[in-house]
Structure 1
């Protein structure tokens, strides 16, 4: 079996192979940050760890290239920790089990971390190289991008000296990105009281699994199902027809991942257990037909369980169910200015009860390239959950990145790609959130662009990166650095 470190270009894959062994889920980036700092210092390069947790490595121009504009190569250190429910893996301690699967590199039951590990590896391969030709290069590795863009928000002005930002966090080779959506977190908190389980009731579990999930920005256009919506669709029918009651719910886990699974404990009359299982199967089959092209693996399992100690009060159960079913989810509007681009979307990522606090927490990430559309979506979300009796809050708002079609680096890279690969790369904006909009606020003079290799299904255990495109991505990056304009 081919080892990851032996794949070409070995400069990139050898660094990525090191990253696979180092835990780096969002909010737990100490080990990968220390590794990155040591990487720069071991090369004898100026290396900075700032207050926001970013790592900056500065490499002088190679001989004869001192008159070129300075370039910042930017990626993020953290990765999304998603795994299949049957996979035993601790993202804070365990290495990623990556392997070659045909033309792709993927992982065994977990996210791979190619988002943004390949970009980070490429930036570090540049500063480690003794043969590449380039002007002044600064590597900016940001902290906690996936759960709030903390590093980008905390970057200070004046730390970096370059003129051109090349973001290495896009996921389609052959495309150059010049804009992205902004985003904002919406949360709703329900408080509930406990009720006794009625006499003659028994406990059951309702598990929704087998869905694809994915990146709530990149994959929202694919029309995939939402496990939270499926769970409450079944619960709604079971409550109306059979009096099913909810004891606990754990649906989804990350604000920026489409929820693939939802697990709940319910109580129902002993006489209705068979009817509940039949109803759940019937609704599951209906949804599978509705989502035949996107969710063929959807599975709904009903099994006996211990009788729960208490139930969520009936009124709150009804209100939460109504709010989840009514909550906007998926693509809200497509862009008028760029064909095939989602303008506005939202993803009901998490619905989770807490027996100790007696609360049910709901979280969604709203995205839009139009600020007013994002604000209107927020008002809709607030209306739905407020009417249902929840406390609603918004946080973590970040700006989009407005396209600059007159960008000098865009023109340069178009010409390089055409000369090297015989075609003009597509120019696109992305519905996911890149850090460029935030970074450009601190460094408004930067000329910015984003590109990367082909990565599929990021933020899910199906994540994979295409090997051939990593080579093209690297070759393109090297050629770009060799042809950066003069100051």
Structure 2
């Protein structure tokens, strides 16, 4: 792999399991590293890390810049992978200019941002610098939410968590989740059932890729159940709130000949979706509880009724998404396994849209045996009309590469919104190298792009006064 301090750090970070909720190891590593480098390090109760990096000689009176990223990663893998995200390092594979992992997510989101921040502290001539590394950005952003505002005292903040080189992100969506707890009615059953596996869709990031033709496997499976008119034993699809569901399974009382008929109909209906839908079934002997026909129908109807995909754009050009939702997870509820948890992630460019969303989801849920909650709110990051920092970032890019950056309002959720609420005086930008397939096992980091973005970041930090 490319020999540079950024990639050296990325390789080290990739050796440490760091899925959301499992950040203790990487957090402790950062404490030890920061102390070895002579930085003042704070590890708070949430396991966030704050490093106070002393200014270079002669730049002690410069304005303070905050470099920010998150330490957690989305843990997704192919069905045939035996990777254990709780203990196994990420296996990195270089293919020319591309870097990916072996049948798992790579963790460049946001491992490369973290690696870049650590390298910048060592390799640049800079003024007072703070490095903030948060936990659980990929789930509920509670790391950013629990961060003490005193650590955000500064003038500029660079969020290194964007995924398109040459794009200057200046605003991001807020979010919240619909959580439905569905309570089926059961009856006893003994006999043969089918376990049906669904796969083959590409999946993707539910913010930046929600407008693409990725499909939604929960909808496919609910469609299958609806057409079957059979009784359901189990339904499981989706693993991450912010990933478009791409595979799952259901268990159902269904004859093989009827399965084949419905399979053909479903495959034809969803043939235009990216990837290739695969539906496989095998027989199982089963004795236990099964959902009665009404509960099965209600369950499928609710899943088909819940919105997923783009709801609105900011203007007629459809350049910027304004609001969307992603039917992300359906699984047995951990607190009562006879019930099912349904999660649909809501994104919005302005808070006024959230009330309409909540009304829609509440209205759809009426008449079904489902308890409705709205959880895991995080604020949007509002666009700042005037920004000297933004001008500097754009100028340094143009000086190096001969063209201006394109401004973007991302539909992805960034922690910038949380930080902006804590310190509205911060001048914030978000940039990063090109990453494709984020939140899927096809996640790919482009090496030359990473080098160019890092060179740009160095120029920004060195030119701050």
The TM-score range, normalised by the shorter chain, is over 0.9
Instruction: Show CA shifts across 1:241-267 (max 9, x none).
Output: xxx211011111111110011101111
Instruction: Show CA shifts across 1:403-424 (max 9, x none).
Output: 1131111001111111110000
Answering whether residue 181 of structure 2 is matched by residue 189 of structure 1, we say: yes
Partner residue, 1:34: 28
Partner residue, 1:410: 390
**Superposition deviation, residue 281 in structure 1:** 2.6
Unaligned runs of 5+ in 1: none
Aligned with residue 287 of structure 1, among 253, 261, 270: 270
Partner residue, 1:474: 454
Instruction: Show CA shifts across 1:293-349 (max 9, x none).
Output: x23x21111221222522123222111100111110011111129851111010000
**Superposition RMSD in Å:** 1.5
Answering whether residue 297 of structure 2 is matched by residue 318 of structure 1, we say: yes
Partner residue, 1:76: 70
Measure the CA separation in 1 of the matches of 2:64 and 2:145.
22
Partner residue, 1:382: 362
Partner residue, 1:214: 204
Aligned with residue 255 of structure 1, among 223, 241, 260: 241
Measure the CA separation in 2 of the matches of 1:27 and 1:72.
24
The residue matched to 1:310 in structure 2 has which SS?
A: strand
Instruction: Show CA shifts across 1:181-232 (max 9, x none).
Output: 000011000112321227xx52111111011111110111212100100011
Measure the CA separation in 1 of the matches of 2:287 and 2:58.
73
Are the aligned partners of 1:265 and 1:308 in contact in 2 as well (CA < 8 Å)? no
Aligned with residue 175 of structure 1, among 167, 172, 175: 167
Measure the CA separation in 1 of the matches of 2:316 and 2:406.
15
Measure the CA separation in 2 of the matches of 1:192 and 1:376.
28
Partner residue, 2:348: 368
Answering whether residue 18 of structure 2 is matched by residue 24 of structure 1, we say: yes
Are the aligned partners of 2:310 and 2:321 in contact in 1 as well (CA < 8 Å)? yes
Are the aligned partners of 1:281 and 1:300 in contact in 2 as well (CA < 8 Å)? no
Measure the CA separation in 2 of the matches of 1:180 and 1:158.
23
Aligned with residue 150 of structure 1, among 142, 149, 158: 142
Aligned with residue 330 of structure 1, among 309, 312, 317: 309
Partner residue, 1:117: 111
**Superposition deviation, residue 384 in structure 1:** 1.4
Measure the CA separation in 2 of the matches of 1:66 and 1:471.
28
The structure 1 segments of at least 4 consecutive aligned residues displaced by more than 6 Å after TM superposition are none
Partner residue, 2:153: 161
Bigger mean CA offset, 105-114 vs 368-377: 368-377
Measure the CA separation in 2 of the matches of 1:338 and 1:399.
25
The residue matched to 1:247 in structure 2 has which SS?
A: strand
Count of residue pairs brought into register by the alignment: 464
Partner residue, 2:320: 341
Measure the CA separation in 1 of the matches of 2:448 and 2:401.
13
Answering whether residue 229 of structure 2 is matched by residue 229 of structure 1, we say: no
The residue matched to 1:47 in structure 2 has which SS?
A: strand
Answering whether residue 4 of structure 2 is matched by residue 14 of structure 1, we say: no
Answering whether residue 448 of structure 2 is matched by residue 457 of structure 1, we say: no
Measure the CA separation in 2 of the matches of 1:327 and 1:117.
34
Measure the CA separation in 1 of the matches of 2:302 and 2:402.
52
**Superposition deviation, residue 441 in structure 1:** 1.3
Measure the CA separation in 2 of the matches of 1:467 and 1:405.
33
Instruction: Show CA shifts across 1:124-168 (max 9, x none).
Output: 112233xx2111111000111111001110011223432101000
**Superposition deviation, residue 47 in structure 1:** 0.6
- TM-score using structure 2 length: 0.97
The residue matched to 1:315 in structure 2 has which SS?
A: helix
- TM-score using structure 1 length: 0.92
